[in-house]
Structure 1
């Protein structure tokens, strides 16, 4: 009887905690016009800086969302503990995935950057395309002169 009461109390506490979590959860929605409006600010920042700018939109327990704008190519990247999912909102670019980073340097915990990616696979991207880049995979976003790309990013923690 005492074990049954203990199990009941444990179950009630667990369900109660889940109920509190569910009450604090929220969903997010961004339309393409809303994202493009937000990207105007990023375009201004990119023009004043190195040709790219991004902002974190929201953070969650195991992922976060961002909006990114590029008018120039970026260097190579490798995230050891998180996957990237890109949703191309506007413009076009080329993503290089796989291969290896050139002149790789650790820039923070689990983050490695390089001059470029060598030996990877190239994929052309345009509005409406989606790309999943697993944790640990080198990648680079290339933008031709005169072009730009705006993309919504989901960064997802992956257990390695």
Structure 2
């Protein structure tokens, strides 16, 4: 009986803590115009660096949001624990999804990068498009010469 009461007490405390956490969590809203204004500094970073710039907007218990800009193709990547959801805001690019990473290297916990993606399916991306890439799936953003793309990213933790 004592173990049951202890379990009930722990459960009640956990639910109470989750409830107070949910009450203190903010909701977020960004208009396309606000995101595009915020992306201007990412464009400057991309021009000075490798052709891409991104920033984390907010972190939550099991996901986080980012804003990304590319004016050049990226390498292949695979996130073992996070799915990517892209909301295309501006520009044009393509994404390769699936296949395998070429010359892959682990760059951090659960993060693998490669020179490119071999195989996979190609999807053209334009403003208004939404793309979901499951955790563990190789992908690569391809940007043609003279093009660029700005996109909002939701990275969702997935259990496997």
Q: CA deviation at 1:91?
A: 0.4
Q: CA deviation at 1:6?
A: 6.7
Matches within 5 A, 1:10-159: 12-159=12-159
Q: CA deviation at 1:16?
A: 2.8
Determine helix, strand or coil for the equivalent of 2:101.
Answer: strand
Deviations 1:41-99 (A, max 9, x none): 00001000010000000101111100000000000001111110000000010000000
10 and 81 in structure 1: CA distance in 2 versus 1, 3 angstrom threshold: closer
81 and 4 in structure 1: CA distance in 2 versus 1, 3 angstrom threshold: closer
CA distance in 1, matches of 2:132, 2:34: 23
CA distance in 2, matches of 1:8, 1:112: 42
Instruction: Let me know the Cα RMSD of the aligned residues.
Output: 1.9
48 and 158 in structure 1: CA distance in 2 versus 1, 3 angstrom threshold: same
89 and 12 in structure 1: CA distance in 2 versus 1, 3 angstrom threshold: same
CA distance in 2, matches of 1:5, 1:79: 41
TM-score, L = length of structure 2: 0.92
Q: Which runs of 5+ in 2 are unaligned?
A: none
Q: CA deviation at 1:9?
A: 5.2
Determine helix, strand or coil for the equivalent of 1:132.
Answer: strand
Q: CA deviation at 1:127?
A: 0.3
- Give aligned pairs, total: 160
Deviations 1:4-41 (A, max 9, x none): 98787556534432331122111111100000000000
